[in-house]
A = this chain, B = another copy of it.
Amino acid sequence: MGSRYLAGKLRKGNVDSTVKLIGWVQKRRDLGGLIFIDLRDRSGLVQIVFNPTESEEALNLAETVRSEYVIEVVGKVVDRDPSTVNPKMETGDIEVVIQQIKIVNAAKNPPFQIQDETDVAEDVRLKYRYLDLRRDPMQKTFKMRHQATQVIRNFLNEEEFLEMETPMLTKSTPEGARDYLVPSRVHPGHFYALPQSPQLFKQLLMVSGFERYYQFARCFRDEDLRADRQPEFTQIDIETSFMTSDEIMEMTERMMQKVMKEVKGLDINLPFPRMQYDEAMERFGSDKPDTRFGLELVNLSETVQDSGFKVFRDAVDSGGSVSAINVKGNGESFSRKDIDKLTDFVKIYGAKGLAWMKAEGGEVKGPIAKFLSELEVAEIKKLLEVSDGDLLLFVADKKKIVYDSLGALRLKLGKELNLIDESQFNFLWITDWPLFEYDEDAGRYFAAHHPFTMPKTNDLDELKANPGEVKAKAYDLVLNGYELGGGSLRIYNKEMQMKMFEILGFTVAEAEEQFGFLLEALEFGAPPHGGIALGFDRFIMLLAGRTNLRDTILFPKTASASDPLTDAPSTVSNNQLKELNLQLNKIKNV
């Protein structure tokens, strides 16, 4: 018997052929003395049939077969009876009448059925990940991931980028997230760090003259996990010399366009819209706006700065702002109780309250209406484009709280009111980021992106005098409200880089100790360079229409960073610890 056929690829053209198939038993049905099996392999499913006329022996053996057995069969492809044609199956026109069957491997009854939809608890799915991965949606997701990988590679190869591998055993640096550490055996008391990103190495590759680098880079962050975070993740890491930020953005757009076309069959228009960071915060209360729906924030600070409504006036007076959302046509559908719930929601984000009005009969009504002058109401109606039946929601607070709370409320309402067209893919650039963010708790500035980001000014004195005002040559790519990734031009001048470290609170000695190699590299003919890093797992999640990042990673970790399949992390032997010159602290709470 010749070579193997793939189950899912059999078609009418194969009718009358004798074929060998190997795969898994998806489902067995016994019906009127016959046995039907849906046989599954990597290509899909085909129905195979055992009947006593064809082979009594095969039929008998087929009776012992259960779900997830691996079997090898030989049979003849035949047309299905028109009444049993299954248009939902790609192979639904035909079936294979089996002459021989061999049981290749048996299977215990699986803890859950291998089917498209599953409501099995996620920890069970992860413990039996190898079964979970047999499900069709998982198979499709990882085929899509493979495909997207190749499209991106081909694109970058054509743009003359070189794929290059940077080290995983690197140096721990204090800025950024928490490092995963790797104790050195050879150097007692010393540690490697797993890279949070290959940032410094990709910059050094530019200093090395390679000019165009990319990598699907594994990155590590020891942070507390959320649904869209994993301790290890993959980013498409790109760096180039001698390109402007416009050129880098334009190239990234073409890359995304190609992926959308080749993986999803969708045409995406270029260029992607661009929005300055400040505008994004004002209009969407977010640095990663989902632009698939409206419900935009409208800043009313000017209108209400002298308002009789003290809450509004005070907010503006103390440097904050007042913004509102017009929930069009939803005045009736939100009861007082509903609005109370929204109020509770915005409080999560620090808002002291949620003021509201409803438009009815050409007027606005609600608890705060009486405090507003006619002029103010008129202006509010104009700015919010109010018509009868609208619900208006206001937050007056510090700017950050206004943005955070109304931004989150906007997303919540957008989902609950079904305003989002899930078939849309809205790419958006956010530009003109602040270079620094001030951290009240730490009492110092932090880099909004990272300390190697080029400021929009060359004036070191200006930078030092007003760090909070300086913008960065940075750009983030947003897709449907998710940050796909970010990039920037980098500092390629030692003095500027030292100034950055100074503003971030480093002494010269600290900067030299931590980043001396970079500072030195900048003195040997560093080219102007920049790049971008895109979260690949998240991109695949959006492409595959999933909402859980774990569905895009073959063997992900749980929210406590463990793997229920292998039981990692695990205890190790005393000898291993001794070799690493380590001992464990006494553990208080496990």
A567 at the interface (CB under 8 A from B): yes
Q: Which residue of B lies closest to A111 (CB)?
A: B524
Q: Which residue of B lies closest to A559 (CB)?
A: B186
Query: What are 27 A-to-B residue pairs whose CB atoms are below 8 Å?
Result: A25-B525, A42-B209, A42-B210, A70-B525, A104-B527, A105-B528, A107-B525, A110-B524, A129-B208, A131-B208, A139-B209, A146-B163, A165-B216, A165-B218, A167-B557, A169-B569, A172-B572, A179-B576, A183-B183, A186-B560, A186-B562, A188-B585, A188-B587, A190-B569, A191-B571, A192-B569, A583-B585
Please state if B567 and A517 are interface contacts (CB–CB under 8 Å).
yes
Q: Which residue of B lies closest to A522 (CB)?
A: B105
Please state if B583 and A181 are interface contacts (CB–CB under 8 Å).
no
A164 at the interface (CB under 8 A from B): yes
A134 at the interface (CB under 8 A from B): yes
Please state if A172 and B576 are interface contacts (CB–CB under 8 Å).
yes
Binary B-proximity of A510-535 (CB < 8 A = 1, otherwise 0): 00000001000101111110000000
The number of chain A residues touching the other chain, given as a range, is 35 or more
Closest approach, in angstroms, between the C-beta of A244 and any C-beta of chain B? Answer: 11
Please state if A139 and B210 are interface contacts (CB–CB under 8 Å).
yes
Q: Which residue of B lies closest to A582 (CB)?
A: B582
Known contacts A146-B163, A169-B569, A182-B194; 8 further A-B pairs (Cβ under 8 A):
A22-B527, A130-B524, A168-B218, A169-B220, A170-B563, A181-B572, A187-B569, A188-B590
Q: Which residues does chain B contribute within 8 Å of A572, judged by CB atoms?
A: 172, 181, 191
Please state if A525 and B569 are interface contacts (CB–CB under 8 Å).
no
A242 at the interface (CB under 8 A from B): yes
A128 and B234 alpha carbons, distance in the complex (Å): 28
**Which of A84-92, A199-207, A337-345, A412-420 lies at the binding interface?**
A199-207
Q: Which residues does chain B contribute within 8 Å of A146, judged by CB atoms?
A: 162-164
Please state if A567 and B171 are interface contacts (CB–CB under 8 Å).
yes
Please state if A108 and B523 are interface contacts (CB–CB under 8 Å).
yes
A183 and B166 alpha carbons, distance in the complex (Å): 22
Please state if B166 and A555 are interface contacts (CB–CB under 8 Å).
yes
A444 at the interface (CB under 8 A from B): no
Closest approach, in angstroms, between the C-beta of A551 and any C-beta of chain B? Answer: 14
Q: Which residues does chain B contribute within 8 Å of A571, judged by CB atoms?
A: 189-191
